Each structure stands twice: as C-alpha cells, then as structure tokens.
Amino acid sequence: MGYIGPAVRVARPRAMKHVGTALWAAILAIAIFSIAGGYLSGEALKPRPIPVGVALPEIAPIPIRRTLFGARGFDVPLEPEDPGPDEAIASRPPGWAPGRSPQQREVVRLAIVICGLGEDRTLDRRFAAIPYPLTFAVPAEDQPADPLRTDPNALVVDASGAAPTTVASSLAALHAGGVLTSVSQPPQKPATLVAAVSGSGGFIIDGMAGGAPAIYDAARARRVAAASRDVVIDAREEEPYIRFMIRQAARLARRTGVAIAVGHAYPETYEALRRTLPNLGADDVQIVPVGELVARPSPT
C-alpha cells in the first residue's frame, strides 16, 4: 500500500461535509416548496365573493310536458293546478242522482270523462285501448280527425273557452251526445250556452267550475238533460294521487249509486286508470258512458 499524504486526508472530510450540506439544503427546499404549494392550493379553494357590479341572469325551468313516448309541448306554458286539490271534489246539486243508497252487493255506476284529447294522438289511442267505456271530451274549436268514440253517450264536446254557437255546431258535426263545461273557468253566461245546446237534444255535464252548479241549474230551468261532475281525478299529475282519487270516485258511487269523474289525457292518468280500473269490479263498480247517468227531464 502506498503512502497517503496529509493533504489527501484533509480533502476527504471536506468533500463529505459539502455533500451533507447540499443534501440538507435540498430537503429544506422541498419542505418550503411543499408548504408554499399547500398554502396556495388552499387559497384557490376558498369561495370568492361575487362582485357587486355583476348582474346574474335569471334562470327559469323550461316547462316540458312528457308523454309515454317523450316530451311534448316545449312551447306550452306550465299551468298551475286548476282546479286545485281542495276543489277536486264538488258538492253535488240535487236532482240527477238516485234518491236512495244502493244495497250492499248492488252494482253501482261510475262514469269517467277524459278531457284534453288531440294533443298527442299516440296517447289518445292508448286511452281508447283501455277496455272500459270511458267517455271522451273533444275540444269544440280544434276537433280531432278521429274522436275515437262512436257511442254518443261516450262522446261529449269540451266547451271550455268556446263560444256557444261553436259548441252547438261541434255537437252536431261530431254526433256527440252532449257537452262538458269547464272544470276550472266559471261560465260567464250559462243561459246562453244552455240555449245553444237545447235545440240539439244533447245533454250537459256541468264541470262545476268554482264549485257552483250554474250550468246545471240553467239546464234544469230550461228542461235540458243534465248532470254534474263529482271528482277531478288528476288535479295533481301524480300517479299515486290519481289512483287514490279514482278510488274516491268509486267510493262515492258505492255510497250514492252513481258518480261522475273528470280526468285529462296525461300519461299519469293513463297509467292510473290502466292499473286501477280492473280492481273496481270487486266492489261492484261498473264503468259506464256518462250519458247513461244524465237525468232526463220528465215530459210535461
């Protein structure tokens, strides 16, 4: 082994000292960088106040009515419940319903009138395929090409918002048995509408808008066959609610012998009817056209 001089012995510890210093400096730099990064990340996640001068645009939901086969009516405004649930069951005026309660196993009759037809022909045909004699109310001012009913007792003209003369002409053109008045808008001139219908020999179902039988009273005064609706089954477009209201209408029929319910051509109403009607037979409730429940005036 050769001789190692003193200079070499001194240089080696100095080199090791420099390496240790560099290592500790690197560790310190990494620590400082990590602390700084964490602080900056925390600052970025803090919620920023909205400047006072910035105006936020008002965002409103787009009203979309859906059917079994997708959305419809993108440009149709979303209407509130009308009539509301509190007015869904009307007080029945006297004169058209039987004056006695049915026996325990006696068959009672329930008529269900469907309004709002013509918006969705596919959904209309689904309603028509329900194997019960539902009554269809077709609009007076926009008559469908096919009203889907041939029995006059199961076909009425929806008089909502239409002039009395238009209602009378639609009644004749469709060979409908009668007229259903609005369930939500009280009539302005009941006697005028009754006079227009009286010449056709048709009947009138008072929609009981506002809970008052104005049309029914005017019809009886003029000796026109008439009745009044008892229940609106779909004041809320929710299937469980509609199914409950169908059962309420059936219970009313069970207590009084007859009942008239009004619904609309909603997908939820279709599903509720399809699921509920088969079960009503167990309570001896028979679905009939509304014309079979109308009180005909006795001849003088």
- pLDDT tens, 206-229? 999 988 899 999 999 999 999 999
The reported pLDDT for the residue numbered 6 is 53
The residue to which tokens 């106040």 are assigned: 49
The pTM is what?
Answer: 0.71
Handedness of CA 288, 123, 165, 75 (dihedral sign): positive
Share of the chain above pLDDT 70, in %: 75
Q: Are residues 233 and 140 in the same domain?
A: yes
The reported pLDDT for the residue numbered 43 is 61
Q: Are residues 14 and 155 in the same domain?
A: no
Is residue 193 predicted with pLDDT exceeding 50?
Answer: yes
Residue 260 β-bridge partners: 111
The reported pLDDT for the residue numbered 47 is 59
| Alpha-carbon span 291 to 293, nearest angstrom | 5
Within a domain: residue 298?
A: no
The reported pLDDT for the residue numbered 63 is 42
Share the mean pLDDT of the chain: 80
Q: Are residues 35 and 106 in the same domain?
A: no
Pairing of strands 70-72, 65-67: antiparallel
Within a domain: residue 259?
A: yes
Within a domain: residue 300?
A: no
Is residue 289 predicted with pLDDT exceeding 70?
Answer: yes
The reported pLDDT for the residue numbered 17 is 60
Within a domain: residue 57?
A: no
Q: Are residues 149 and 288 in the same domain?
A: yes
| Alpha-carbon span 35 to 39, nearest angstrom | 6
241 burial type by CB count under 10 A (0-12 exposed, 13-18 middle, 19+ buried): middle
Q: Are residues 153 and 17 in the same domain?
A: no
Q: Are residues 164 and 265 in the same domain?
A: yes
The reported pLDDT for the residue numbered 30 is 84
Within a domain: residue 252?
A: yes
First to last CA, the chain: 147
Q: Are residues 190 and 276 in the same domain?
A: yes
Cβ neighbours, 10 Å, residue 217: 18
Q: Are residues 70 and 35 in the same domain?
A: no
Within a domain: residue 56?
A: no
Q: Are residues 16 and 101 in the same domain?
A: no
Share of the chain above pLDDT 90, in %: 45
Q: Are residues 33 and 72 in the same domain?
A: no
Token pair listed for 182 = 């609005």
- Over residues 83-96, the pLDDT tens digits come to 555 557 788 888 88
Q: Are residues 116 and 30 in the same domain?
A: no
* Averaged pLDDT for residues 176-181: 94
Tell me, letter by letter, the H, E, C secondary structure of the chain.
CCCCCHHHHHHHHHHHHHHHHHHHHHHHHHHHHHHHHHHHHHHHHCCCCCCCCCCCCCCCCCCCEEECCEEECCCCCCCCCCCCHHHCECCCCCCCCCCCCCCCCCCEEEEEEEECCCCCHHHHHHHHHCCCCCEEEEECCCCCCCCCCCCHHHEEEECCCCCHHHHHHHHHHHCCCEEECCCCCCCCCHHHHHHHHHCCCCEEEECCHHHCCHHHHHHHHCCCCEEECCEECCCCCCHHHHHHHHHHHHHHHHHHCEEEEEEECCHHHHHHHHHHHHHHHHHCEEECCHHHHCECCCCC
- Tell me how long the chain is: 300
Peptide linkage before 83 cis (omega within 30 of 0): yes
- Over residues 112-157, the pLDDT tens digits come to 999 988 888 899 999 999 999 999 999 988 776 777 888 999 999 9
Query: Which of 116 and 188 is assigned the larger pLDDT?
Result: 116
- Over residues 23-52, the pLDDT tens digits come to 777 788 787 877 777 666 666 556 555 555
Q: Are residues 17 and 147 in the same domain?
A: no
Within a domain: residue 172?
A: yes
Is residue 178 predicted with pLDDT exceeding 60?
Answer: yes
Structural domains of the chain, count: 2
Within a domain: residue 2?
A: no
- Over residues 48-86, the pLDDT tens digits come to 555 554 444 444 444 444 433 333 444 444 344 455 555
Which residues span the domain enclosing 244? 65-293
CATH number at residue 151: 3.20.20.370
The reported pLDDT for the residue numbered 207 is 94
